[in-house]
Amino acid sequence: MTRASGIQTPVAPLRRKVATDRAAACDAREAVLETRATFKTVLRSGWRPCRIRLTPNGITLTQGGRPVFDLTADRIAGLRIEGVRSVLGRKKEALCLDYRSGHAKHKRSRLWLTAPNLHAVRERLADLAAPIDLAALERLASHLDADAESIVWFLWQQRHATVGELAQHARIPSQMDVLLKIREVINPVAEDVLGFPLLTFVPARTDALTGRNVPNSWWLVGARRTQEQRRPEVTVDTFHEADGFRILACLPCGEARDVSVSFCGGAVEISSDGGGKPARVPLPPGLEPENCRQTFRNGILELCWGGPDRSAPAVEQGKR
């Protein structure tokens, strides 16, 4: 593996281009959760076996590796756990998933799911779909009493809290009263107003902001997605030109020393100390790392093979 170092600042300004994020397509395929399950689309029909696959884009059900149901997160309209009777009359816990059908905004369809970790499936789906932002919480707060509103805003600020911490903050006499407030007031009202129960109890979860494992706490559903300090991505665009090949990369950093360019296996990987997932770009056959010229200006990295020399001087190559 070869690493390029000592990126130079160009004499002439670089021409800016609109970069396309090639990493997004890969992220969309990464599974958030996978599990075996059963489902039905008609309440009186039988349960059909499947596998659930949750990705950042939504949910897919497969049978024998073949997709039989696919739904993007933005079409989910409601999630609730309810008791559903089987054909033998026995009652089982199921996740009732309401979703918008096709392009009709108000047309709703319904799917029922059972799984060994059903509550985890609901929690992950709600995290993907719930539009939890400041406007949504203000809308919800207008329907809550003072104690319930205090709990919600405290969790919005803190991200998570134990039931003891919630009782102390809201000055509620006992932890049991806090649990009743969550289960009988906050979550039912949230389901009516937002379409989702707002608060969820998690025995253990890693806080994405601090990296700390948080035990036995209540969290805002969707808070991981909307309140995370998201690191900007490294985005790239490529240009096959008559006299060479060129890559433009937008990086979340302002200094050349924070940029890392590595060559390995017929591809170049570009990363930044400023964060973001590295971008990996396959190279056309015959391109050698030592023939690459690199320039960096205002967060834009340019890698060139052939064509006019835009940099000064050529970049020295190093081993990694």
CATH, residue 47? 2.30.29.30
Q: What is the structure's pLDDT at 39?
A: 93
Q: Name the token pair of 201.
A: 């109890």
Please, what are the averages of pLDDT over each run of 10 residues along the chain (320 residues)? 45 34 42 87 88 87 91 80 74 86 70 87 74 80 94 88 92 91 91 81 73 83 46 72 85 75 87 72 88 84 75 36
Q: Name the token pair of 225.
A: 């997605």
Place of tokens 């281009």: 17
Cα-based distances in Å from 306 to 6, 67, 98, 269, 286: 20, 45, 55, 19, 12
CATH, residue 145? 1.10.10
Domain boundary among 129, 151, 179: 129
CATH, residue 248? 2.60.40.790
Boundaries of domain holding 154 = 134-227
Same domain, 55 and 38: yes
Q: Which of 183, 203, 274 is CA-nearest to residue 233?
A: 274
Same domain, 218 and 147: yes
Q: Which of 252, 216, 256, 207 is CA-nearest to residue 233?
A: 252
Number of domains forming the structure of the chain: 3
Decide: helix, strand or coil at residue 114: strand
Same domain, 81 and 111: yes
Q: How far apart are CA 98 and CA 115, in angstroms?
A: 17
Q: Name the token pair of 22.
A: 């090639």
pLDDT tens digits along 226-244: 333 344 567 787 888 888 8
Same domain, 191 and 167: yes
Domain boundary among 129, 162, 184: 129
Same domain, 194 and 260: no
Domain boundary among 129, 144, 177: 129
CA dihedral angle for residue 256, residue 259, residue 262, residue 267, rounded to 10 degrees: -100
